[in-house]
Amino acid sequence: MKALAANFGIDKTLKILGLKDVNEGTSTGLTSFFGNELLESYSPVDGQLIGKVTITNEEAYEKVMDAATQAFKTWRTVPAPQRGDIVRQFGDKLRQKKEALGKLVSYEMGKSYQEGLGEVQEMIDICDFAVGLSRQLHGLTMHSERPGHRMYEQYHPLGVVGIISAFNFPVAVWAWNTSLAWICGDVCVWKPSEKTPLCGVACQNIIAEVLSENNLPEGISNLINGDYTVGEFMTKDPRIPLISATGSTRMGKIVAQEVAARLGKSLLELGGNNAIIVTPDADIKMTVIGAVFGAVGTAGQRCTSTRRLIIHEDIYDKVKKAIVDAYKQLQIGNPLDENNHVGPLIDKDAVKMYQNALKQVVEEGGNILVEGGVLSGEDFESGCYVKPAIAEAKPDFKIVQHETFAPILYLLKYSGGVENAIDIQNSVVQGLSSAIMTNNLREAELFLSVQGSDCGIANVNIGTSGAEIGGAFGGEKETGGGRESGSDAWKVYMRRQTNTINYTTELPLAQGIKFDL
């Protein structure tokens, strides 16, 4: 597939996004200070080298932080609606370059082109949300117990926000964070995944145009590149009051400890081991659509991917047959070809984890219903293409309790009432997304009640995968407890301040205390 880049316009895409010289070592975006080492980005689609970016060393990081801290002093004084207008302009730039950025996401990460476009649309949507929010950063007024006094609360920007994002959503998660942080008056330093660095550079180039056109300080948006050691610059830095990190639970625990040690704030979006409960009152057609897309979309590499299907014994065989038949229709291949449903895993390490998981489920007594395996041949020369697999298993299998970032779906059987299915769903350490398929109102309401799902996201008659930007996104337990995107998630990017104003000529003390001089 060496002609793939030319056939699907990758070279043109790189030029549109300001990445035409990437093979010579590209700029790491605005406020860039270079080291000597280069980070190479290879596409899982065809195994080809896309380009190289410079790795941020410690000296370069210090210069980035100097630029960011200085820019904050200016940016925080810009009225919030004006900050919102900058975000609006950024959203308009994304509209202009949606196809190009979506294609780069698909080629560098491996998700389907349609999913790549969808990810850029999420960026546009959160920009729109943030623009409106820029006029609604409201506080609260309350009555004072002292006469002639007024009390209120207001929110101020935190300062420099550090963002660490994962490869599976190489642009959208950054936008969720940075759009809100910007309208709150914060500046940002972003470390994208070392597996998708060019997506980061492309985004930085786009916002650089907006800042330049408005004569704003370049340090409002900053990009650093490298592996976890570069991320450690931020997690240990007391100049960064908030670290927003997306990735594995293992990574999140390290970040949380580092940031907590300096009494900083963490916003963590970590692993998910998401389940769909299928009750006897479920619509089977809807169940199949939700479960299949949830399990194989992005090749099972979403934090919200469906990994467990908990099916009532009365309909188990019927649902099993329908799911297995649906898998026979899946097309695997180049994600830039819109006829294909499933693209590659991110790299060969991910392939090994996929293979080990299938081996382990058999060792624990599971039954493979849809065979997995690594695909080979001219169309799969990157070595990252695998077959989506289905296995019958039991809830207490160790591999079922573990999140495997790959297209493996476990079918689990339950009996009795829906309470038993909820217990199975809640038995894992992760708590991100969950769903129930039922037309029974009582089952649906129980699932959403305090006795129901323990996840941050709980859906009825839709799958686990995907979320609208208007709601707060995040999960509980080892998913980290963070909330991004919509609702009142903006508050995490700001500090709360309580104010009391005395507009009299007396100074009464609280609780009636007397202190006469």
Inter-CA distances, 505 with 6, 291, 508, Å? 77, 68, 10
Query: Which residues does residue 500 pair with via DSSP β-bridges, in sequence order?
Result: 151
Q: What pTM did the predictor assign? A: 0.95
Give span(s): CATH 3.40.605.10, the chain.
Answer: 4-269+487-496
CA angle 124, 126, 127 (to 5 degrees): 65
Contact between 291 and 323 (Cβ < 8 Å):
yes
Segments of 158-294 assigned E as strands: 160-164, 187-191, 221-223, 242-246, 265-269, 274-278
Determine which one of 303, 403, 455, 478 is catalytic.
Answer: 303
pLDDT of residue 421: 98
Q: Which residue has the tokens 């007594």?
A: 365
Sorting pLDDT into bands at 50, 70 and 90, what band is 31? very low
pLDDT of residue 7: 58
Sorting pLDDT into bands at 50, 70 and 90, what band is 34? low
Contact between 198 and 107 (Cβ < 8 Å):
no
pLDDT of residue 24: 44
pLDDT of residue 422: 98
- Residue 330 scores a pLDDT above 70: yes
Taking only the tens place, the pLDDT of each residue in 214-260 is: 999 999 999 999 999 999 999 999 999 999 999 999 999 999 999 99
Taking only the tens place, the pLDDT of each residue in 9-29 is: 899 999 999 997 544 443 333
Q: What kind of fold does domain 4-269+487-496 have according to CATH?
A: Aldehyde Dehydrogenase; Chain A, domain 1 (3.40.605)
| Of residues 508 and 375, more confidently modeled | 375
Taking only the tens place, the pLDDT of each residue in 149-187 is: 999 999 999 999 999 999 999 999 999 999 999 999 999
Q: Cα 112 to chain center, whole Å? A: 17
For the chain, give the mean pLDDT: 94
pLDDT of residue 82: 98
- Residue 338 scores a pLDDT above 70: yes
Which whole number is the average pLDDT over 297-310? 97
Say what percent of the chain tops pLDDT 70. Answer: 96
Taking only the tens place, the pLDDT of each residue in 376-389 is: 999 999 999 999 99
pLDDT of residue 466: 79
Calpha distance 517→514 (Å, rounded): 10
Contacts of 99 (CB under 8 A, 6+ apart): 117
Calpha distance 486→164 (Å, rounded): 19
**Active-site residue 127, yes or no?**
no
- Residue 33 scores a pLDDT above 80: no
Which whole number is the average pLDDT over 47-72? 95
Q: What is the DSSP letter of 185?
A: T
Q: What kind of fold does domain 274-470 have according to CATH?
A: Aldehyde Dehydrogenase; Chain A, domain 2 (3.40.309)
Say what percent of the chain tops pLDDT 90. Answer: 92
**Active-site residue 203, yes or no?**
no
Residue 360 corresponds to which tokens in the numbers above? 């382990």
Determine which one of 194, 269, 443, 484 is catalytic.
Answer: 269
Residue 128 corresponds to which tokens in the numbers above? 């729109």
Give span(s): CATH 3.40.309.10, the chain.
Answer: 274-470
Which whole number is the average pLDDT over 398-419? 98
Four-point Cα dihedral 435, 437, 443, 444, nearest 10: 60
Lowest average pLDDT, out of 34-43, 210-219, 315-324, goes to 34-43
